[in-house]
Structure 1
Amino acid sequence: MTAIRTDRWIRLDGTTNTRDLGGLPTADGGETVRGRILRSDNLQTLSPDDVHRLVAEVRLTEVVDLRTTAEILLEGRGPLRDVDAVTHRHFTLLPERGRRTDVFAAEEEDAALIRAGLPADWAESLLPRQVTPGSDGELPAVRSYLGYLTDGAENVVAALHSLAAGGPGAAVVHCAAGKDRTGVVVALALAVAGVATEAIVADYAQTAEVIDALVAKLAASPTYAEDMTTRGVAHHTPRAESMRRVLDLLDERWGGPVGWLDQHGFGVDEQAALRARLRN
Structure 2
Amino acid sequence: MVTINTFPVRRPALRLLVAATGLGVLATGAVGCSARPAQDSPGGRSSSAARAAAPTPRSMGLRDAPNARDLGGYRTADGHQVRHGVVYRADALNHLTPAEQQTLTRDGITQDLDFRSPAEVATARDALPAGVRRTALPVYDPGADLSRTMGTLLAGGPAAQQQALGAGKAVRMMDAYYAWLVKDPAAGKAFGAAARAVADGRTPVLYHCTQGKDRTGWMSAVLLTAAGVPRATVDQDYLASNHYLQASNDRQLAQLRAAGKVKDPALLEPVLGVRESYLNAAFNEVTTAYGSFDGYLRKGLGLDRATEQKLRQRLTSA
- Report 1:247-258 matches (<5 A): 247-258=283-294
Task: Tell whether 2:71 aligns with 1:21.
Answer: yes
What secondary structure does 2:95 align onto?
A: coil
When structure 1 is superposed on structure 2, of 35-44 and 7-16 the one drifting more is 7-16
Q: In structure 2, what is the Cα distance between the partners aligned to 1:197 and 1:179?
A: 17
The residue type paired with residue 251 of structure 1 is T
| Residue matched to 1:173 | 207
Which of the residues 168, 176, 194 maps onto 1:159?
194
What secondary structure does 1:163 align onto?
A: helix
Tell whether the 8 Å contact from 2:199 to 2:314 is kept in structure 1 after alignment: yes
Which of the residues 112, 127, 132 maps onto 1:79?
127
| Residue matched to 2:240 | 206
Greater relative contact order (CA < 8 Å, ≥ 6 in sequence): 2
Shift of 1:232: 3.3
Which whole-Å deviations, capped at 9, do the CAs of 1:21-52 have from their partners, x for residues lacking one? 10112111221010000111100111111111
Q: Call closer, same or farther: CA 1:125–1:19 in 2, change over 3 Å.
A: farther
The residue type paired with residue 99 of structure 2 is D
What secondary structure does 1:63 align onto?
A: strand
Q: What TM-score do you get using the length of structure 2 for normalisation?
A: 0.67
Q: CA RMSD in A?
A: 3.0
Tell whether the 8 Å contact from 1:70 to 1:125 is kept in structure 2 after alignment: no
| Residue matched to 2:311 | 274
| Residue matched to 2:158 | none
Q: Call closer, same or farther: CA 1:20–1:122 in 2, change over 3 Å.
A: closer
Q: Call closer, same or farther: CA 1:217–1:62 in 2, change over 3 Å.
A: farther
Q: In structure 2, what is the Cα distance between the partners aligned to 1:96 and 1:251?
A: 26
Q: Call closer, same or farther: CA 1:235–1:162 in 2, change over 3 Å.
A: same
Tell whether the 8 Å contact from 1:60 to 1:86 is kept in structure 2 after alignment: yes
Task: Tell whether 2:180 aligns with 1:147.
Answer: yes
Shift of 1:252: 4.6
Q: Call closer, same or farther: CA 1:144–1:122 in 2, change over 3 Å.
A: closer
Task: Tell whether 2:137 aligns with 1:91.
Answer: yes
Q: In structure 2, what is the Cα distance between the partners aligned to 1:213 and 1:142?
A: 24
Tell whether the 8 Å contact from 1:139 to 1:242 is kept in structure 2 after alignment: no
| Residue matched to 1:123 | 147
The residue type paired with residue 256 of structure 1 is S
Task: Tell whether 2:12 aligns with 1:12.
Answer: no
What secondary structure does 1:95 align onto?
A: coil
Q: Percent identity?
A: 25
Q: In structure 2, what is the Cα distance between the partners aligned to 1:84 and 1:211?
A: 27
| Residue matched to 1:102 | none
Structure 1: give runs of 5+ residues left out of the alignment.
98-118, 128-135, 220-225
- Report 1:191-270 matches (<5 A): 191-215=225-249, 232-264=268-300, 265-270=302-307
Shift of 1:155: 1.5
Which whole-Å deviations, capped at 9, do the CAs of 1:32-83 have from their partners, x for residues lacking one? 0100001111001111111112102x111111100001100111x3220xx3
Structure 2: give runs of 5+ residues left out of the alignment.
1-46, 152-168, 254-260
